[in-house]
Amino acid sequence: MNLVYSVVIPCYNEEAVITESYRRLSDVMRGMQEPYELVFVNDGSRDKTAEMLNDLAAQDSNVRVIHFARNGGHQIAVTAGLDYATGQAIVIIDADLQDPPEVIPQMAERWLEGAQVVYGQRRSRAGESAFKLKTAELYYRLMQRLTNNAFPRDTGDFRLVDERVADVIRGMPEHARYLRGMFAWAGFKQEPLLYDRDKRFAGETHYSLKKMLKLAADGVMSFSDKPLKLPLWVGLFWLGLGALVAFILLILAIAGRPGGLWWMASLMAVLGGSVLTSLGIMGAYLARIYDEAKDRPLYIVAETRGFPEEI
Ligand code: UDP
Ligand code: MG
């Protein structure tokens, strides 16, 4: 039997929500009347999540469970789910019901109409602190700047992707994984789907400030080399300024007016500028090394025409 839909659900200490998310997801998926699987990834939970998931797998043949030996983090858990999922369309959704499962049929509809990535775009976010909303807003703005608007805003990991897109992600071995960025980077036919993000059904966030900052840093560093090259521009500015001052002082000196301490200032600007410039040049090399180290595919083929059929 060929599976049509896979749903990947990362779970970390979610005993308070598992039963309810399973119920709502199953309702929605059954309603779609196609073969499906629910791929739960237990990201090293220390509560009853593991037992509860095993029970579900024992009762329901649509349920698959992957248990991590230790906590690997949300993005890694989703990566594992993608690797194991076998559906033609794969949905990524949080376990805590902040992303409403009832949106999945709308995503599937877009997919059936030809979209290859349907990403959930938040129209509103219930139950989030003012702090989280503000920092998220600032972060998205910074990201847009640093990556020349490569990513859609107000978009998390909730999305449906075609198996061909999933294959691209499976072939990206980078360790610092910022999945929403990787999906955007992959290309293909992408469409937003507006939805209202709910508050957590139960339990509390597992994204500590530290994990959040790491995700934010991964996003910037995996998709922008601008920070590495920043010293180059600052350095060139000081170098230019120092040289200009020196030039003016030289003319004044020829006219018989010694520059005095200004020479010192110009020397310092030239020296500081040179150091920064060489740091920026090193940054440019480092960015290249980093790019090679990420080992991303050079090109991504969406489809081919006219080749003889493979046997
Ligand atoms: N999660 C995970 N590993 C972690 C942290 C979180 O698999 O180390 C899962 C979690 O169970 C949930 C999703 O990732 O399904 C999003 O986490 P959470 O709801 O805590 O984050 P928030 O919505 O507050 O950003
Ligand atoms: Mg959540």
Q: What is the pLDDT of residues 58-79, one digit of tens each?
A: 999 999 999 999 999 999 999 9
Q: How far is the CA of 121 from the centre of ligand 1 (A)?
A: 18
Across 228-245, average pLDDT = 94
Place of tokens 């090679």: 292
Ligand 1 pocket, Cβ-based, cut-off 6 angstroms: 10-12, 14, 43, 71, 73-74, 77, 94-96, 98, 205-207
Lowest mean pLDDT among 5-9, 98-102, 223-227: 223-227
Cα 146 to its chain centre, rounded Å, is 14
- Residues whose CB is less than 8 angstroms from the CB of residue 165 and which lie 6 or more positions away in sequence, other chains included: 116, 117, 183, 186, 188
CB-based neighbours (< 5 A) of ligand 2, an ion: 94, 96, 98
Q: Side chain identity at 86, as an amino acid letter? A: T
Q: Say which ligand is closest to the CA of 14.
A: 1
Across 10-26, average pLDDT = 96
Q: How far is the CA of 246 from the centre of ligand 2 (A)?
A: 58
Q: 203 pLDDT band (50/70/90 cuts)? A: confident
Across 14-18, average pLDDT = 95
Is residue 210 a contact partner of residue 238, using CB atoms and an 8 Å limit? no
**pLDDT greater at residue 86 or residue 153:** 86
